[in-house]
Amino acid sequence: MRLDFLFFGELPFKTKYRLEKGCKVVYNSNENNLTVRTRQWRYNMSYRTERDSMGEMLVESDKLWGAQTQRSLENFKIGVGYESMPDEIIQAFSYVKEAAALANAELVPSRMNEKKLSAIRGACEKIRTGELKSHFPLVVWQTGSGTQTNMNVNEVIAGYSREFSGVTLHPNDDVNMSQSSNDTFPTAMRVSALMAIREGLLPELSLMTEELSKLENRYMDTVKCGRTHLQDATPISFGQEVSGWRASLERDMGMLDRACEGLKYLALGGTAVGTGLNTPRGFDTLVAEKLSELTGYGFVTDPNKFHALTSLSELVIAHGAMKALAADMMKMANDVRWLASGPRNGLGEIFIPENEPGSSIMPGKVNPTQCESVTMVAVQVMANDTAVGLCASQGNFQLNVFLPVCIYNFLQSARLLSDSLRSFRLNCVSGIRANEKRMAENLNRSLMTVTALNAHVGYENAAKIAKLAYSENITLREAALKLQLMTADDFDRVFHPERMI
């Protein structure tokens, strides 16, 4: 059958074209072919008919997904092209599906035979290599349980098996065997979160602490003026100052490491509401073992699936550690740009790499752009922490329905922090040099070195010395002699700022 008709608007399936008013659409059901003609172009699209429990859907022939993915594409055109489900979640799902297939093959071999198992494993491997990335188009802003992304994965695995392995798999009966979206999505969340921290964030954090250790050791004996409340304070070495940054990040590493332990408890095996309906006995324990073997991480089944399906507390804790890291990075970046401020009318105690021009109107101006990038990332992570916390507080009864937005923000934070640490280390921290001349000048002008005199003339007299030196713009030594509180020999004997660190 062939049918010509006029059409205006979007086709009933995803294309990159929006039709002009009065364009001609030629539909040939015998050849499964649709041709669109306008004055400017002719677009020829082949498609196939997919079916689910709600009926038929048209899907472009070169796409591996099925009817449920297509429905989601058409029903949730929100943030398209900008806020797709994170790649990390899809990668995690490939491990979950493979682990489930392996467990099913052991426990119910009559339903999950070697042929089906091999086909599922082959498709999961292709997902992990990124070769099937274009077949996962769904956005974050979908069902709050992530059901449509779970089905997108199921359908793509079945579609790949059909096209390339010659094995017929049913998305629900085979690929989703012994599973529900309600336990697979929370499981994929924890797998992706753990891997993002272990494989992305912690290695970058370790490299940054190593870089800071080098800077710390290089300048451990370089004495400078300390500062509290943005006012002069007693002396400190630049190496000691850097050690504070380094120690903060090391503490953050410890918190992140401990938080990862909570992410190892999985909802998988709880199915729809936590009871484990439609799973063979021992599935939850075995699938956690299989997932551990595939990923190299020691996942275990959560002893209480009712908690695992509804609570995101472990993700809140892990993101809280990332928020702590963001706060420390904000502090360090602010310290760096204050210390590098100038070049002539600021503190100017350190030099940082000059990476690009800083102004479109002021020639020669160079700005601390890497510091600014770090602080913007920190603000975003802090905002994400609010979203993650709010997500964890929501949902009703046996399910949390804010899962996609929770993991979207979590993974964005991990990714931003990893990238920011790398960029800041390579483009700024590794090139920091102390301006030792300026440090010495500022140290010698500081009035707070008078603290060294407390034990010899008392706090009150030391304060008189400092105030006189400030009001008359003279040195502490000159003020002490003028007030006749110390002799020149006594002052020279006890006043050694370099020993105050």
DSSP sequence for 280-339: -TTHHHHHHHHHHHHHSS--EE-S-HHHHHH--HHHHHHHHHHHHHHHHHHHHHHHHHHH
Token pair listed for 462 = 């030391």
Note whether 172 and 307 are same-domain residues: no
pLDDT tens, N- to C-terminus, the chain (501 residues):
444 444 444 454 444 444 444 555 555 555 566 655 544 444 557 899 999 999 999 999 999 999 999 999 999 999 988 899 999 999 999 999 999 999 999 999 999 999 999 999 999 999 999 999 999 999 999 999 999 999 999 999 999 999 999 999 999 999 999 999 999 999 999 999 999 999 999 999 999 999 999 999 999 999 999 999 999 999 999 999 999 999 999 999 999 999 999 999 999 999 999 999 999 999 999 999 999 999 999 999 999 999 999 999 999 999 999 999 999 999 999 999 999 999 999 999 999 999 999 999 999 999 999 999 999 999 999 999 999 999 999 989 999 999 999 999 999 999 999 999 999 999 999 999 999 999 999 998 999 999 999 999 999 999 999 999 999 999 999 999 999 999 999 999 999 988 898
Of 437, 455, 483, which residue is a domain's last? 437
Residue 78 lies in a domain: no
Residue 188 lies in a domain: no
Cβ atoms within 10 Å, residue 488: 10
Segments forming the whole domain that contains residue 49: 2-62
Note whether 103 and 212 are same-domain residues: no
Residue 189 lies in a domain: no
CATH code: domain of residue 226: 1.20.200.10
Note whether 383 and 465 are same-domain residues: no
Task: Please give the radius of gyration of the chain, using alpha carbons only, rounded to the nearest integer.
Answer: 32
In degrees and rounded to multiples of 5, residue 58 shows phi and psi of -90, 130
Helix, strand or coil, per DSSP, at residue 43? strand
Note whether 291 and 431 are same-domain residues: yes
Residue 307 lies in a domain: yes
Q: How many CA atoms lie within 13 A of 254 on its CB side?
A: 6
Residue 483 lies in a domain: yes
Specify whether the CB–CB gap between 146 and 181 falls below 8 A.
yes
Note whether 302 and 323 are same-domain residues: yes
Characterize 158-192 residue by residue with b for buried, 16 or more Cβ atoms within 10 angstroms of its Cβ, and e for exposed: bbbbeeebebebebbebbbbbbbbbbbbbbbbbbb
Give residue 246's region: left, alpha or beta (phi > 0; psi -120 to 50). Answer: alpha
Cβ atoms within 10 Å, residue 247: 14
Helix, strand or coil, per DSSP, at residue 350? strand
In degrees and rounded to multiples of 5, residue 365 shows phi and psi of -75, 135
Of 396, 417, 437, which residue is a domain's last? 437
Question: Helix H segments across 196-282?
Answer: 202-218, 238-262
Residue 187 lies in a domain: no
Sign of CA dihedral 482, 483, 487, 492: negative
Note whether 111 and 41 are same-domain residues: no
Note whether 472 and 492 are same-domain residues: yes
Residue 474 lies in a domain: yes
Note whether 390 and 252 are same-domain residues: yes
Strands 265-266 and 300-301: parallel
Note whether 249 and 354 are same-domain residues: yes
Helix, strand or coil, per DSSP, at residue 57? strand
CATH code: domain of residue 158: 1.10.275.10
Domain count, the chain: 4
Specify whether the CB–CB gap between 202 and 321 falls below 8 A.
no
Report the distance separating Cα 405 and Cα 115, nearest Å.
Answer: 36
Residue 335 buriedness (CB in 10 A; 0-12 / 13-18 / 19+): middle
Note whether 271 and 378 are same-domain residues: yes
Of 13, 29, 62, which residue is a domain's last? 62
What residues act catalytically?
Answer: 229, 359
Token pair listed for 275 = 């009871």
Note whether 168 and 209 are same-domain residues: no
Helix, strand or coil, per DSSP, at residue 265? strand
Note whether 243 and 173 are same-domain residues: no
Residue 256 lies in a domain: yes
Helix, strand or coil, per DSSP, at residue 125? helix
Residue pointed to by tokens 């006012």: 231
